[in-house]
Structure 1
């Protein structure tokens, strides 16, 4: 029995010993090492920092009302002039009415150019009935074009797939790029193209329309956005609290006199080289670099679409570069302050990179 217990204990220790530290572990170690070197506690509460991250609004607060435009405004049989009967009949089936927003978006991206083509075909007709049909057709085209931005918003940002990108509770991006979930760059680019179309006239159906469901699938399978936002929240907290600790330590009394390093200064330099330059800074740079494109793509899409109030507040609270309490603004400010405080600390002891000390 003792042999079995010993074997189980050794196995447990081996498994725990082989587990790789997470990015959060690295950040916690970094703040502890800095605090020990400074003899000034870096006060952190990573769980609190994560709990304060803005939450994506519930679906009912993200949904935009769209006028129900029925092709019944024109007798369906009239569409025989433009070979659109099958497409309209397919759209009006009971199954189609239950289709997800992505399917309705695909339908509109194909239908609007077809309706405009029909309008152009009828525009020069001398037949009074066709002229009347063309006038009613123009009304439908205008209504559909006006509704397209709202429809695109609902299809993209009120979808389960997009919710994945803003989910709370995701782990941070790993330190190694090998374990990083790829960002859904291609899908977001297609959504940006659709958002742009909604602001223009006389566009053609995008070539990627029939494969749009694959873009939603790519979005669903990617946890990049949620992991990046977790990383950003943890990094921001680390930067703010470490910079504040350095400030408090420098306010107490100088660490070095006449820029001459002492034993504590050499400990600080070792922490800087091993934990700041060796681990923290590379991770920070990788996270910022990886997330910039994702953030910019999200902004490109949302700035061209109508946003419900709750969604507008969410995106401002996360992405805004000017709002003081926005996550992105706080990160940039904390990053710069953290760098400046380290420079002050190293300069006081004549240990800035490139110095002779």
Structure 2
């Protein structure tokens, strides 16, 4: 009896799961395109069970930039107690410190360079400072300053959080629910602030204090890693592009045949087509597409701005940037072209029947 009861629960759960749409965006897009095809007597059908034809995000070894492997000896480290850096360096040289994630390494590099810069200025103003200590701090400061851009780059672009935002394996963004854009946007804004330190360190050396947001970085990395907005947006914009291209082709094929209406007199058939436009495009696809367009523009802009803070970008990342992130990248330009083609096709079709919205 107990076994039968357990089996019934499992069976009900299975049926419920099968009833849930596991691909709601694809279903909405296919429904729209199929309704258009049906209303225009076309048997062409849209299939969105497709692989995302985008280049893979470069592998970590292609993204990482080399930095000087700096390990201070015990006596040298003890000397740095004058700079209040002993605890910081000891933490980095510990067993856990040697496997710090990129986000924590970034914090360490910023704090170390800031601390060395402050110590350097203090020693230079002192009348009694040990010349050997001055030399040591100056040498360390110049090494870390030289490597600072690479350290910032690695802290941002070798992180798992950034990698997951360009994955090709995530589903599309949801139709109605919170899609994580707000949190992802805030994370990218913070990373842009971090990246601007690259130009700050090259400015005239005044008192450079540690940024107050360093201790708040981890939640932003976590937001990028968990929400994966970028990866889901990439799929959404490609699915929309493919749908618009396909549907525009269906409409254009109908336009090449006989007109839908003569003398701009709407027929019952034309009214069905207009109803499909109003219900499935204006009512379902257009609001989703508008959000994907608006959020995608800002997301791409923030990523472009982030990259612009660096003077050297590894070749593999340069290629990826030109294919996916840049304003003239094929991904975005294909979407714009598909959107414009789709709009023009609908305008031509509905204008034949004087059914354009607002007419």
| TM-score of the aligned structures, taking structure 2 as reference length | 0.86
Q: 1-side partners of 2:291 and 2:284: how far apart?
A: 11
Q: 2-side partners of 1:152 and 1:236: how far apart?
A: 35
Between 1:339-348 and 1:141-150, the stretch displaced more is: 141-150
Aligned to 1:81: 82
Deviations 1:209-238 (A, max 9, x none): 123222222222213222111111100111
Aligned to 1:145: 145
Q: CA deviation at 1:20?
A: 8.1
- Residues 8 and 140 (structure 1), Cα distance of their counterparts in 2 relative to 1, 3 Å cut: closer
Deviations 1:168-206 (A, max 9, x none): 22111111125x345422222211111111122254321
Is this contact kept in 2: 1:31–1:42, CA < 8 A?
no
Aligned to 2:338: 334
Q: 1-side partners of 2:8 and 2:231: how far apart?
A: 41
Q: 1-side partners of 2:298 and 2:338: how far apart?
A: 20
Aligned to 2:240: 235
Deviations 1:120-168 (A, max 9, x none): 11223445843x6435533432332232222222222212222221222
- Residues 262 and 156 (structure 1), Cα distance of their counterparts in 2 relative to 1, 3 Å cut: same
Q: 1-side partners of 2:21 and 2:282: how far apart?
A: 24
Q: 2-side partners of 1:350 and 1:123: how far apart?
A: 81
Is structure 2 residue 355 aligned with structure 1 residue 351?
Answer: yes
Tell me the number of residue pairs that the alignment of Structure 1 and Structure 2 aligns.
347
Is this contact kept in 2: 1:34–1:42, CA < 8 A?
no
Q: CA deviation at 1:86?
A: 2.8
Tell me which of 176, 190, 210 is aligned to 1:205: 210
1:176 aligns to what SS in structure 2?
A: coil
- Residues 220 and 241 (structure 1), Cα distance of their counterparts in 2 relative to 1, 3 Å cut: same
Q: 2-side partners of 1:206 and 1:58: how far apart?
A: 30
Is this contact kept in 1: 2:78–2:86, CA < 8 A?
yes
Is this contact kept in 2: 1:69–1:144, CA < 8 A?
no
Q: 1-side partners of 2:137 and 2:292: how far apart?
A: 50
Aligned to 1:65: 66
| TM-score of the aligned structures, taking structure 1 as reference length | 0.86
Q: CA deviation at 1:259?
A: 1.6
Deviations 1:79-101 (A, max 9, x none): 23323233223322343122222
Aligned to 1:257: 262
- Residues 35 and 71 (structure 1), Cα distance of their counterparts in 2 relative to 1, 3 Å cut: same
Q: 2-side partners of 1:195 and 1:114: how far apart?
A: 18
Tell me which of 299, 309, 315 is aligned to 2:315: 309
Aligned to 1:295: 300
Q: CA deviation at 1:11?
A: 8.5
Q: 1-side partners of 2:20 and 2:246: how far apart?
A: 30
Q: 2-side partners of 1:87 and 1:21: how far apart?
A: 48
Aligned to 2:120: 119
2:357 aligns to what SS in structure 1?
A: coil
Alignment RMSD (CA, Å) = 3.0
Q: 2-side partners of 1:286 and 1:276: how far apart?
A: 14
2:65 aligns to what SS in structure 1?
A: coil
